[in-house]
Amino acid sequence: MPAKTHTHSIEHARAVLDAVRDHVADALDIPVDEVTEFTLLPSDGLAVAAIIRDLKEEFGERSFGIAGDDVADWTTVADVVEHVSNERNDGDSDR
């Protein structure tokens, strides 16, 4: 059974990364293939708010929570992916 859980985690992380990359590419107006884990988030707070809104719509409002303090610490795509993945995994463990 652990192999299935591990595979699910990898697929989940990949889905989160792909979604974040898509939304960041839209916000930065660049091709998605130019967005990596190290891509810096937009400096515009409204653009970051739009990314968060879009992710909540995509994954479901209750899938993860975001506090203002969390967002202030995010600088790269990887920061967002880590937060969303961790929050969604925590939520999955409650089921």
**Model pLDDT for residues 8-64, shown as the tens digit of each residue:** 678 888 888 999 999 999 999 999 999 999 999 998 888 988 998 898 888 876 666
* Cα 40 from Cα 74, distance rounded (Å): 9
- Band of residue 95 on the pLDDT scale cut at 50, 70, 90: very low
First to last CA, the chain: 17
The token pair that represents 16 in the structure block: 């989160």
Q: Is 23 exposed, middle or buried (0-12, 13-18, 19+ CB in 10 A)?
A: buried
The token pair that represents 45 in the structure block: 């707070």
Residue 5: pLDDT above 90? no
Q: Are 91 and 63 in contact (CB under 8 A)?
A: yes
Domains and CATH numbers, the chain: 2-88 (1.10.1200.10)
Task: Give residue for tokens 């995509």.
Answer: 58
- In this predicted structure, what is the pLDDT of residue 33? 97
